Structure 1
């Protein structure tokens, strides 16, 4: 959300209903290993999610979608969907989003904050420690003025584990 990797005309906070941000995907490479998988974020069913929406220039659409598909569909743990959303100014729109495939072997949904924190605390992958990814994500959300109570609970629990709790 803070570094989308593509050109855009406009960025706005947005709310998607029916999906929530969740550490619901096992990471076997970047934030963990197959023997000790980490967790990365995905959109999972239920609740709502506040995030960012990006408006793309029509002449950049195909290039942007190709880039997103290459980035998000590497292991096919995500499904591409067109979801309705509400922008911060009240306008409604539809957007391409990538939601977790609950049938995929990397799906790790259903963890509570304590269980997720134990996984995050113990995992490390090619791109570094899993907890650094989670802490960085929460910091960026806070910078954008987005609260994520569940992720805050996970971070609090990881901090407790770091301190020997």
Structure 2
């Protein structure tokens, strides 16, 4: 019997995986929470004007999506994920169990926040997060678009994240004043 290959997404991988998969299921990762805890100097900011991107900070639980990958496609998918998720090595690759909708647990590849990396922002205040996100743009576009996409796609998945909704409201208020 072959080993099942799964990938867990909690941010843009939920709505823009960028790879072929056999199955996509709602899933929950326990022991980590979704947070804007990583300074972005590539996708959503620059070294001169960093933005913030999501990471999995210690504590809590995160609802996201698990993707089952065909074994034959795994090498290509894994190489793609390494290039996409690790441009500045801000994450630690790990194997962690997630609970799929329906109750089954599967091991997944997940990218955890590296709290020792220089881009680790840690627990920033809502105000500081909003300031960073409101004015940053990187190779993948404005940082606020990433936050808007996150809130919209979580809602489409039936996930209400009051913290992310509050952050978006604060960022939009800052942008409206500019």
- The question of a shared fold, defined as TM-score above 0.5 by the shorter chain, is answered with yes
Change in CA separation of 1:56 and 1:127 when aligned onto 2, cut-off 3 Å: closer
SS for the counterpart of 1:108 is: coil
Partners of 1:63 and 1:122 in 2: CA distance: 35
1:34-113 to 2 correspondences below 5 Å: 34-113=47-126
Partners of 1:58 and 1:34 in 2: CA distance: 38
TM score, norm. by length of structure 1? 0.92
Partners of 1:53 and 1:126 in 2: CA distance: 26
Partners of 1:109 and 1:119 in 2: CA distance: 13
Q: Does structure 2 conserve the Cα–Cα contact (< 8 Å) formed by 1:6 and 1:64?
A: yes
What corresponds to 1:147 in structure 2?
160
What corresponds to 2:19 in structure 1?
6
SS for the counterpart of 1:115 is: helix
Aligned pairs, how many?
165
Structure 1 regions of 5+ residues with no counterpart?
Answer: none
Partners of 2:146 and 2:83 in 1: CA distance: 21
Partners of 2:101 and 2:127 in 1: CA distance: 32
Higher mean Cα deviation, 47-56 or 146-155?
A: 146-155
What corresponds to 1:125 in structure 2?
138
Partners of 1:29 and 1:65 in 2: CA distance: 20
Q: Deviations over 1:13-68 (max 9, x none)?
A: 10001111111111113322212210011111111100000011122222211221
Partners of 2:31 and 2:125 in 1: CA distance: 19
What corresponds to 1:21 in structure 2?
34
TM score, norm. by length of structure 2? 0.86
CA drift of 1:147 comes to 1.9
